[in-house]
Amino acid sequence: MNNVSTWMARDPDPTTREELQRLIDSNDQLALEERFSARLAFGTAGLRGIVGAGPNRMNRLVIQETALGLGTYLLQQVDDAAAKGVVIGYDGRPDSKQFATDAAVMLGSLGIHVYLTETVAPTPVVAFSVRHLNAAAGVVVTASHNPPAYNGFKVYWGNGAQIIPPHDSGIAAQIDIAAQAPLPDLSLSQIEPLGLLSLLGGAFYAQYRHAVNSSPFLSNHTAPEKVSIAYTAMHGVGADLAETLLADAGFNQVYSVKAQREPDGTFPTVNFPNPEEPGAMDMVIAEAKAHGATLACANDPDADRFAVAVRTEEGEYKMLTGDQVGMLLGHYLLTRVTPNEALVGTTIVSSSLLEKIAKSVDAKYFQTLTGFKWLTNVAMEKETPEQPFVFAYEEALGYTVGTTVWDKDGLSALVAFAQLTAELAANGATVWDRIEAIYREHGLYLNAQRSIALQPGSPPIGDTLRAQPPSTIAGRAVVRTDDLKTSQRIDAEGVIETIDLPASDVLIYHLDDASRVVVRPSGTEPKLKCYYEVVEAMGHEDCLKHVQQRAEEAMADLIEKHQASLQG
Q: Of these residues, 109, 129, 144, 352, which one is catalytic?
A: 144
Q: Which residues pair with 496 in a beta bridge?
A: 490
At 108 the three-state DSSP class reads helix
Q: Please choose, from the candidates 105, 59, 53, 107, the residue with its C-alpha nearest in 3D space to the C-alpha of residue 85.
A: 107
Distances (CA, A) of 331 to 159, 416, 543: 27, 12, 22
> Coil, helix or strand for 157?
strand
Note whether 75 and 107 are within 8 A (CB): no
Residues 88, 307: Cα–Cα separation, whole Å = 26
Instruction: Tell me whether residue 144 is one of the annotated catalytic residues.
Output: yes
Contact 102, 63 (CB under 8 A): yes
Alpha-helical segments (H) within 155-257: 167-178, 188-191, 202-214, 239-248
Decide if 330 contacts 358 (C-beta within 8 A).
Answer: yes
Alpha-carbon gap, residue 308 to 257, rounded angstroms: 14
Q: What span, in angstroms and rounded, lies between the C-alpha atoms of 548 and 568? A: 30
Count Cβ atoms below 10 Å from residue 49 Cβ, excluding itself: 19
Nearby residues of 349 by Cβ (< 8 Å), 6 or more positions away: 370, 394, 395, 449, 518, 520, 531
Helices within 494-543 (DSSP H only): none
| Pairwise CA distance, residues 41 & 172, whole Å | 8
Query: Residue 557: exposed, middle, or buried by beta-carbon count in 10 A (0-12, 13-18, 19+)?
Result: middle
Strand order from edge to edge, sheet including 317-319: 254-256, 229-232, 295-299, 306-311, 317-319
Calculate ∠ Cα 491-493-499, nearest 5°: 25
Distance CA 82, CA 334 (A): 41
CB 109 within 8 A of CB 184: yes
Torsion sign across C-alpha atoms 162, 331, 224, 284: negative
Determine the angle formed by the axes of helices 14-25 and 2-10, rounding to 10 degrees: 160
Whether the Cβ atoms of residue 234 and residue 299 lie closer than 8 Å to each other: yes
Could you list the active site residues? 144
